[in-house]
Amino acid sequence: MHEAARYDMEMTDLIQAYDALVADGTLQRDDAQEAVLPEFERIRAALAEPVKRGLFRRAPEPPRGLYLWGGVGRGKSMLMDFFVSHLSVPARRVHFHAFMQEIHAAMHVARQRGVDDAIAPVAADVAASVRLLAFDEMQITDITDAMIVGRLFEALFAAGVVVVTTSNRVPDDLYKDGLNRQLFVPFIDLIKDHLVVWELASPTDYRQDRLSGSPTYFSPLSAEARAQLDAIWADLSGPDAQPLDIAIKGRTVTVPQFSNGVGRASFFDLCSKPLGPGDFLAIAEACKVLMIDDIPCLSRNNFNEAKRFVTLIDALYEARVRLICSAAAQPEMLYLEGEGTFEFERTASRLREMQSADWAA
């Protein structure tokens, strides 16, 4: 049973707005999505109330936020964007990885100024700029994030910042099996105290449906292949794509374009740089769909790039990431000569399997 407050069951702004989008064909009605709308409306209505200030008036308690979790493609990010677009208060919608990168950078600047407790001024700056933070894809894989989120969010909540976030994991599975996880557990309790936890249990994977029947492997490389990838990207990503920086053991790995769980990069971006298995696992964790442009033919001339490509495909395959790509040749013809051709047979097989209509379903 969902943990939730009691609501007036009359029609509310967000519910009416959702109905209007269904009526004009923009959205398909979904019972699971409709069920969580009162939670979003509860937060929107509370934030819309004017803050009455006076000598003896106390600021009203901020509403509890929302932790919306569930499988990929269920509409979590869409619902959050829909909600943020109807807010009348300062709010920021940002991917969780990108937000944590900003926090680390701001803490570094604070320490250079000689600040002993860098979290306090950084949290204060965030709280001064927004009343609501909307995070896409809350997930924590890096120990440096795990060790600061508790105090960071404690400060944000104390300042009255409301948090709405999506995730593929229930809170108890955040940073699962991570190093020194016992130090992270208080953050999970903090999330449960300040956010209503709600599972979006829709039976429909809308992202998968949008790709159903559509090719996902385009060969040979050509202007037409590029145009087809551009069209798929425009359909899946939306207009607000930005680079995604992922912190991994003190380094940063960048997916050049990212939006709504969909990443896009070129073969050069991913395989011509000194990236390893941990980097590719982090990318697979962050991206539910990954688009790769311009995979070349492979040989002894680009053996290191080929090895990284094999490792990348293994990471995407094990994580069940949907792969969409353009390549110089069909999988079986990509790597025909040089050391590693035998090992590449498995990669070619996986590339074929990942093109199937039910892949990652």
Residue 226 burial by CB count (10 A; 0-12/13-18/19+): exposed, middle or buried? middle
The predicted pLDDT at position 6 comes to 37
Q: Average pLDDT in the 173-187 region?
A: 87
What is the share, in percent, of the chain residues with pLDDT greater than 70?
89
Distance CA 341, CA 164 (A): 48
Output phi, psi for 304, to 5 deg: -65, -40
Burial class (CB in 10 A: 0-12, 13-18, 19+), 234: exposed
Dihedral of CA 341/345/351/352: which sign? positive
Whole-model pTM over 0.75? no
Assigned architecture for domain 13-199: 3-Layer(aba) Sandwich (3.40)
Place of tokens 């409306």: 41
Mean pLDDT over 320-346 rounds to 88
User: What are the residue boundaries of the structural domains of the chain, listed by start?
Assistant: 13-199, 206-353
Coil, strand, or helix at residue 165?
Answer: strand
pLDDT per position as a tens digit, 80-133: 989 999 999 999 988 787 788 789 889 989 999 998 899 999 999 999 999 999
What is the pLDDT, as a whole number, of residue 124?
96
Which residue type, as a one-letter code, is found at position 161?
V
| Rama region for 96: left / alpha / beta (φ>0; ψ in -120 to 50; rest) | alpha
* pLDDT in the model for residue 71: 77
In sequence order, what are the beta bridge partners of 290?
263, 323
The pLDDT of 166-189, averaged and rounded, is 88
CA distance 104 to 124: 14
Q: In terms of CATH, what superfamily is 206-353?
A: P-loop containing nucleotide triphosphate hydrolases (3.40.50.300)
pLDDT recorded at residue 133: 97
pLDDT band at residue 4 under the 50/70/90 scheme? very low
pLDDT at 155 over 80: yes
